[in-house]
Chain A
Amino acid sequence: MARELADVVVVGAGACGGVVAKTLAAAGLSVVVLEAGKRFDPATDLANSEANAAKIMWSEPRVYAGKSGVVPKAGVGVGGGTLTWLGVMPRFHPADFRTKSNEGVGEDWPIGYDELRPWYAKVEREFGVAGECGPFAPEPYELPMPPHRMNWHAQVLARGAREVGAHPFAPPVAINSVPYDGRPACCYCGWCGSGCPTTAKATGVETYLAKAEKLGARVVSEAFVHRVNYDAAAGRVSGVSYLDAELREHEVRARVVVLAAHALETPRLLLLSACGTFPQGLANSSGKVGRNLMSHPTWQVFGTFDDPVNAYKGMQMGHVMVQDYYKPDARNAYARGFVLISYMMTPITYANLSGSFYGREFKQFLMDYSHAAAWWAHAEGLASESNRVTLDSDLKDRRGLPAGRITYEWGENDVKVAGASRDKAAEMMSASGAREVRVGLNYGAHAMGTCRMGRDPGASVVNEYCQSHDVKNLFVCDTSVFVTGAGVNPTLTAMAIASRAAERIAEAGGRGEL
């Protein structure tokens, strides 16, 4: 078996793994990043083709159980989810971290907006974000790039939004509106979800990981980590074991292990790493690993117009956002809130997100592609202990490892707040002048919360610095640590938390504490 030695091993080369790798490499530590997927060349591998979307999507076998069968999208490859993501990066609001105190739902975080403020700004600057903070921002703040001009699609949507009294704006998006950090401005080709061939869209690989590699970090692709190794005598993790593309076994020994494999694979890995000391899964003395899985209940709402919209011209998501209904309001029939964001897709995705109708009606819907507009109505989903990731007892992956089993059922509030977002999107679509409004698919966007942070080691998996309560040289730096999901896209907040944790790891490492 091949062995390698490093100060830090990071599992997962996505948005958060990149932040951690770059920060720790810059601090002079030796870093190895292990990524299950391949390394792609953007210009060729991510050229405009919907077939390319398939190769950067996580497609390992999983069981989706529970009443709602939520299937959150996740990416794979060096760059992780940012290869296929659409780049919308709003900050969370102070109230998002205190839902229990404010509204009696969810749970409070051990940190808040004030702790994350400098890290938000740091990630926005380093990663490259364009846009306006908007009229409903947690506080007024400047982004490093000017907003994108609204594409025609967004202008059509904004017209209806204003008509009903809302305040549409061009939200923060990690896609270059001007050349930035050596990457070009967006050409508005409209293929973001298939991967960006020009690198105008920020990905983990073109930003943080590229810098980490220049600083000496090693990124190993097609390395599937199947176990975090625990040294019971030392009470510490000693590194990880992984299988390469030919299923050969490797080991990386490290002083610090950072898991950044996303909220479905990170808990699976901890559960796969059960050992004598932690029979229910590594770092799982609380029994919370895999629990409190959250997603965003999302409706796709389409409108068909008499005139062409050609919504495929522009960024797929985020030319316009409406955040008027984000702030909780005691007069609402639901807790928490939602946002509406423009989202237009390439044709196959357009078909898939349209729902389950068929026949002449479906064909007509496809024929109307160039005349269609779409709102993505995205609401907050609350945590529930019974929504969780476990290991399936029957299904195995190609390595013979138990597949993840995702059990999910939307709660009553999730259904209500998502219904309100859907109805508001439909109202705005009519106000924009759509001759037909169609409510499309209802699905779960994003996965979060399976290794939540907290002060109480009996009720959470990691502390506010993403450090395991049980094993002090083990960290979780991805959306797994979320306590609530808020109503906006989660990547910026996950990266800000990872950035803060990585700085802490570097400091503790410098003091010889790890």
Chain B
Amino acid sequence: MDHGIDEIDLAALANGILPADEADDGAASVRAGPRLAERIRAGINADLYRRGLEHARGLARRTHGRGLDQIGPREMDELLGALRDEMPAFFRQLRMDVSAMYLSDPDVWRRIGFPGPSADSGGYPDFDRPQSNALRVLAPEQRG
């Protein structure tokens, strides 16, 4: 097993970027960990991810004496903050990749109230009218 690109560790970091909550499972709902691992194995940003993962594992070990997949949500929050300061390029890439995977899922589009492609159906003739309805299915009391 290639410890440089452990998908369990990647999933732990991805779930820290977009955690599970009452709306959905966050990064896990789009299998961000395994998909990131696949990409890295294909060579995409491989060095950046190898260095970033190694650094993140070191942080988890030194601070909490545990693996990335063993630390709790609050600890992961702190760890990502440290990662953002210490390895900004890796953090940016991770945040960008995880959110792009999440936001490419039509199920997520429905949850955030985005209809997706629209040019083929004629765009939005009501673009200049008051917008009283969002497509979003969540009720206000479910939000945050």
CB within 8 Å of B: which residues of A? 47-50, 149-152, 155, 186-191, 197-198, 307-310, 312-314, 346-348, 350-352, 356, 358-360, 362-364, 366-371
Report the minimal beta-carbon distance from B17 to chain A, rounded to whole angstroms. 5
Dominant secondary structure of chain B at its interface with chain A: loop
B62: Cβ under 8 A from any A Cβ: no
B8: Cβ under 8 A from any A Cβ: no
A368 to B113, CA, bound (A): 8
A356 near B77 with CB under 8 A, answer no
Report the minimal beta-carbon distance from B19 to chain A, rounded to whole angstroms. 6
Nearest A residue to B81, CB-CB: A358
A351 near B131 with CB under 8 A, answer no
Q: Which of B32-40, B53-61, B90-98 has 4 or more CB atoms under 8 Å from chain A?
A: B90-98
A359 near B23 with CB under 8 A, answer no
Sorting the interface of chain B by its residue count into under 10, 10 to 19, 20 to 34 or 35 or more gives: 35 or more
Report the minimal beta-carbon distance from A344 to chain B, rounded to whole angstroms. 11
B124 near A307 with CB under 8 A, answer no
Q: Which of A150, A363, A371 has the most CB of B within 10 A?
A: A363
- A364: contacting residue among B109, B113, B117, B144, CB under 8 A: B144
B133 near A312 with CB under 8 A, answer no
Nearest B residue to A347, CB-CB: B103
A356 to B92, CA, bound (A): 7
Nearest B residue to A356, CB-CB: B84
Q: List the B side residues contacting A364 at CB < 8 Å.
A: 143-144
**Contact flags (1/0) for B90-127 with A, using CB distance below 8 Å?**
01100110011011100011011111111110111111
- A152: contacting residue among B112, B125, B129, CB under 8 A: B129
Q: A188-B124, A370-B136 are in contact. List 9 more A-B contacts (CB 8 A).
A: A187-B123, A189-B124, A312-B114, A313-B123, A313-B127, A351-B96, A352-B99, A359-B80, A366-B102
Q: List the A side residues contacting B18 at CB < 8 Å.
A: 358-359, 362-363, 366
Nearest A residue to B138, CB-CB: A367
Nearest A residue to B136, CB-CB: A370
Q: List the A side residues contacting B2 at CB < 8 Å.
A: none
A107 to B133, CA, bound (A): 51
